[in-house]
């Protein structure tokens, strides 16, 4: 079946540090890949997505590239801010995944000033 594995947190960083959150997946077919962010007490917001191999999703300074050869979709940001403190979820979905989203375990990120 489909599964998503992402690095466990919490990840604690200083402001302006480089952030990487690893995400790998197993799936049949060619799923779409997503990163969602959840701020404290809120629901999930789509951060970025990629629908096919070698696509790069980007938003708010975050980037992730769909790597089919390594089945990965690592999230990166070059210079984090305190406001980036949240829980980040990697997910896969799409027609190949039966139109359902499968989430990774989530990675809590804490950015200190």
Q: For another protein, which is the closer residue by CB, 36 or 62?
A: 36
| CB-side neighbour CA atoms (13 Å) of 62 | 23
Q: Which parts of this chain interact with another protein (CB under 8 A)? A: 32, 34, 36, 42-46, 49, 51, 89, 93-95, 97, 99-106, 108
Nearest-approach distance from CB 93 to another protein, in angstroms: 5
Residue 34 DSSP SS3: strand
Q: For another protein, which is the closer residue by CB, 62 or 78?
A: 62
Place of tokens 């992402």: 6
Nearest-approach distance from CB 79 to another protein, in angstroms: 26
Residue 88 and residue 86: Cα distance in Å, rounded?
A: 6
Nearest-approach distance from CB 74 to another protein, in angstroms: 18
Strand partners, 90: 35
């Amino acid at each position: 079946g489909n599964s998503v594995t992402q690095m466990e947190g919490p990840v604690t960083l200083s402001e302006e540090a480089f952030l990487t959150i690893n995400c790998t997946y197993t799936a049949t077919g060619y799923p779409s890949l997503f990163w969602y962010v959840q701020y404290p007490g809120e629901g999930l917001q789509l951060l970025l997505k990629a629908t096919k191999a070698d696509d790069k999703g980007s938003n708010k300074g975050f980037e992730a590239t769909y790597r089919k050869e390594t089945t990965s979709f690592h999230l990166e940001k070059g210079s984090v801010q305190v406001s980036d403190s949240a829980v980040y979820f990697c997910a896969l979905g799409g027609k190949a995944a039966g139109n359902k989203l499968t989430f990774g375990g989530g990675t809590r990120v804490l950015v200190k000033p």
